[in-house]
Amino acid sequence: MALIHLNFESQFLCNNTDVNIILPDKPRDITPEDFYDANKKYPVMWLLHGTFGDYTDWIRKSNIELYASERDIIVVMPSALNSNFFDWKGFGMGYNMWTYLLDELMPLVYNWLPASSKQEDNFIAGLSMGGSGTIQYAVGNPEKFAAAAILSSAPSNIRRDINEGKVLKRTQTAIDDMGGNENYLNSIVNVWDKLPELVKNKTLPRLYFACGNDDSIVGKRFVEFKTYAEEIGLDAVFEDYDGYDHEWRFWDLTIQKAMDFFGLPNKEAGNAF
């Protein structure tokens, strides 16, 4: 595969930012002229990192480049700090991660690279914090993605947690940044409350959730959300795996499962999902 490291000044993040992008390789039996002049558009997977991570995580800690090569897709891996993938107006000069991916990075990728902008060719996935971002983007912009994979994460009942005073310090910081509880509950973060209407309207992309049964961080939330999903009639795939905690071995395994779920054919091993 070809690996691009892109560093540029972002209008919405108000600073320089980094992105790793995997591009399909030229087959050896095709001339460069024929390959690069073909104007072919490839499927895109937007791949999000977790807390304390950055644009290098998936490259350094998983075999994502191999898996992308087997499936002939573009993989875009942005940096998001610890932003939870939403807009933080009060951070520095403003760090608008939610808007950045949708209104800056996506147009850049679609117009500078051989990337398809069609809904049926776009997929989003992420682990932990990136899983939270994934479901937020899928729920907030269902028309942009054919499917989404949420690894070691799940929406939580934010309204209940606020009413019971059980929010984490990190969440309280976000609430304060957004101007209070109601603004936070009405924001893109509150996936829990938005899902029933989207389920009713059948506008969601296909959803895949996976979690390790030994996950000490989000295991209970995953089980609670799975029950809630059944109650509201959410048509999604849930998988749990014994012997895995909140760890890269699990994410390396389940990103392959996610690509199978997306329907991205594996030219080396076939589609085994």
For residue 254, pLDDT beyond 70: yes
The tens digit of pLDDT for each residue in 170-228 reads: 899 999 999 999 999 999 999 999 999 999 999 999 999 999 999 999 999 999 999 99
Quote the CA–CA distance of 130 and 142 in Å, as a whole number: 17
Residue spans per domain, the chain: 2-152+193-262
Which amino acid does the sequence have at 146? A
Judged by DSSP in three states, 56 sits in coil
pLDDT at 269: 64
For residue 251, pLDDT beyond 70: yes
pLDDT at 175: 93
Quote the CA–CA distance of 255 and 244 in Å, as a whole number: 14
The tens digit of pLDDT for each residue in 32-79 reads: 999 999 999 999 999 999 999 999 999 999 999 999 999 999 999 999
pLDDT at 270: 46
Query: Partners of 239 in the beta sheet?
Result: 210
The tens digit of pLDDT for each residue in 67-126 reads: 999 999 999 999 999 999 999 988 889 999 999 999 999 999 999 999 999 999 999 999
Is the separation of the CB atoms in 252 and 66 below 8 Å? no
For residue 28, count CB atoms less than 10 angstroms from its CB and return exposed for 0-12, middle for 13-18, buried for 19 or more: exposed
248 or 167: whose pLDDT is higher?
A: 248
Is the separation of the CB atoms in 64 and 22 below 8 Å? yes
pLDDT at 272: 45
The tens digit of pLDDT for each residue in 149-159 reads: 999 999 999 99
In CATH, the architecture of 2-152+193-262 is 3-Layer(aba) Sandwich (3.40)
Closest CA to 54 of 9, 107, 7: 7
Tally Cβ neighbours within 10 Å of residue 57. 22
**Count of H helices and E strands in the chain?**
12, 10
